Amino acid sequence: MPSPYRAIFSTPGTRGFSAAGFIGRMPLSMLGIGIVTMMSQVTGRYGIAGGLAATLALAAAALGPQVSRLVDRYGQRRVLRPAAGITVLAVAGLLVCVRTGAPDWTLFACVALAGTTPSLGAMVRARWAMIHRGSPALLHTAYSFESVVDEACFIVGPILSIGLCTIWFPEAGPLLAVLFMALGVLLLTAQRATEPPPHPREQHTPGSALRSRGLQVLVLTFVATGAIFGAVDVNTVAFAEEQGHKAAASVVLAVYAAGSCLAGVLFGLMKPKGTASRRFLLGVAAMGVSMIPPLLVGNLPFLAVALFVAGLSIAPTMVTTMALVEQLVPRAKLTEGMTWTSTGLAVGVALGASLAGWVIDAAGARAAFVVPASAAALAVVAAFLGYRRLEPAPDLEGTRAHGYDEQDRREGHMA
């Protein structure tokens, strides 16, 4: 492992919570695409498949920040375990309803309850922020590493989810996804030494972290970015089926994630230059341009190459976004702030997956690639228009160079 990555793991406990986060984040890539594949296997209706995936993402968007706000207030262990329990029961109900042929409304009800799925990525990044807060270089490498972990989930997850749904039984992918989530939460919350101290209600400034105008820009841009991801996932499954190789969709999506994974590894070895806001703008612009080649797709190999190139811009943009969040929101709301970016992605995934499903049903998978291309254009517009808002708030400038002091720790123990 290159030296910058060795350095971030020099603190005891870091390997353990990062590994737990990897396991717990598998549903990020498995659950939505598993539901799409399951429903296409059982009903052949991509419209309802995309609708369920959209409902799951919207529910996570509505409930995820609330779960993270409670985490900031009461701590990870006290909040994550009951939230994960609700998700397990909801997904179990969904699978039973699919297996028994229950009415469509029951499927949507179960998926909505599954929105309590905790954002394990935000929980892990909050731990890194506490440990390496005094070292921007190490924190950059840590965020890069976690971006690589995210993409590793997207490499392994779709292969497992789509493969199990198509080869074993339709419900296998979502079932394994929720088991991974439960195990990851249990392992993460068992590690108390690296858990950030909670900030009780009376120490919180009024309102949500989303009051930050800069964070609003990031979330809006990520809504459009999520629409890219959601549409690409659904389009790829449908296009592979049209080509007569539905199971190959998992490989194509893994190649997409591999491009981002490679970029994330290399980005973590670099010393960032310029401002984070400028790097963010360049990253979003690169993502926008990368969605042009898929419009010309003619076969699966071409699609795989196009998506690999498109993936190269993802991880650096995500890493830069986490750095911006840390600059834009108070530390007592850091987990919530990070979760809001995931929420933006979730809303976008919902819109992109749903719209792509409708276009596929009406005009076919090739025509539906206009959906991620349009979403990419909207992301670029949002980033450019909001660029000037991505400056650190005056009351937060300089605070990121310091670690938690003893007063912070006393506040955490008092909670």
Largest separation between any pair of C-alpha atoms in the chain? 62
What digits encode the pLDDT tens for the residues 106-139? 989 999 898 888 888 888 888 888 888 777 778 8
Which tokens hold the place of 70?
């409670």
Q: How far apart are CA 364 and CA 366, in angstroms?
A: 6
User: What pLDDT was estimated at residue 254?
Assistant: 81
Question: To the nearest 10°, the Cα dihedral for 253, 259, 265, 267?
Answer: -130
Helix (H, G, I), strand (E, B) or coil at 101: coil
CA neighbor of 230 nearest in space, from 300, 275, 291, 317: 291
- With contact defined as beta carbons under 8 Å apart, do 79 and 71 qualify? yes
Write the single-letter amino acid at 118: P
| Assessment of whether the complete model's pTM goes beyond 0.85 | no
- Give the residue from 172, 373, 181, 200 showing the smallest Cα distance to 288: 373
Which residue ranges in the chain fall short of pLDDT 50?
1, 202-204, 395-415
Instruction: Find the Cα–Cα–Cα–Cα dihedral 138, 141, 147, 153, rounded to 10°.
Output: -100
Q: How far apart are CA 340 and CA 331, in angstroms?
A: 14
Cβ atoms within 10 A of the Cβ of 251, count? Answer: 19
**DSSP-assigned letters across all residues of 27-81:** HHHHHHHHHHHHHHHHT--HHHHHHHHHHHHHHHHHHHHHHHHHHHHH-HHHHHH
Distance in angstroms (rounded) separating the CA atoms of residues 53 and 385: 30
To which H or E segment does residue 113 belong?
helix 104-113
| Amino acid identity, position 48 | I
| Chain segment 209-246, per-residue pLDDT in tens | 667 787 888 889 989 998 998 888 888 888 888 888 87
CA angle 224, 227, 232 (to 5 degrees): 140
Q: Are 68 and 336 in contact (CB under 8 A)?
A: yes
- What is the per-residue pLDDT for 206? 55
Residue with tokens 């399951």: 38
Give the 3-state secondary structure percentages of the chain, helix then strand then coil, rounded to 5: 80, 0, 20
The reported pLDDT for the residue numbered 187 is: 93
Burial class (CB in 10 A: 0-12, 13-18, 19+), 271: exposed
Nearest to 124 by CA among 45, 9, 243: 9
Question: 244: alpha, beta or left, given left = phi > 0 and alpha = psi -120 to 50?
Answer: left
**339 Cβ partners below 8 Å, 6+ apart?**
64, 65, 67, 68, 119, 122
Burial 319-338 (b: 16+ CB within 10 A, else e): bbbbbbbbbbbbbbbbbbbb
- pLDDT (0 to 100) of residue 121: 82
Total residues found in the chain within this entry:
415
**What pLDDT, on a 0 to 100 scale, did the predictor assign at position 263?**
86
Helix pair angle (172-189, 27-42), 10° resolution: 160
Q: Mind giving me the DSSP string for 178-202?
A: HHHHHHHHHHHHT--TTSPPP--GG
Give the residue carrying structure tokens 């088991």. 179
**Which residue do the tokens 């498995």 mark?**
30
Under the phi-then-psi rule, with left for phi > 0, alpha for psi from -120 to 50, and beta for the rest, what region is 398?
A: left
**CATH superfamily of this structure's domain 16-198+208-393:** MFS general substrate transporter like domains (1.20.1250.20)
| Radius of gyration of the CA atoms of the chain, in A | 20
Q: Which amino acid is at 268?
A: G
248 by Cβ neighbours in 10 Å (0-12 / 13-18 / 19+) ranks as buried
Over residues 354-393, the pLDDT tens digits come to 788 888 888 888 888 999 999 999 999 999 898 888 776 5
Q: What is the pLDDT of residue 224?
A: 92
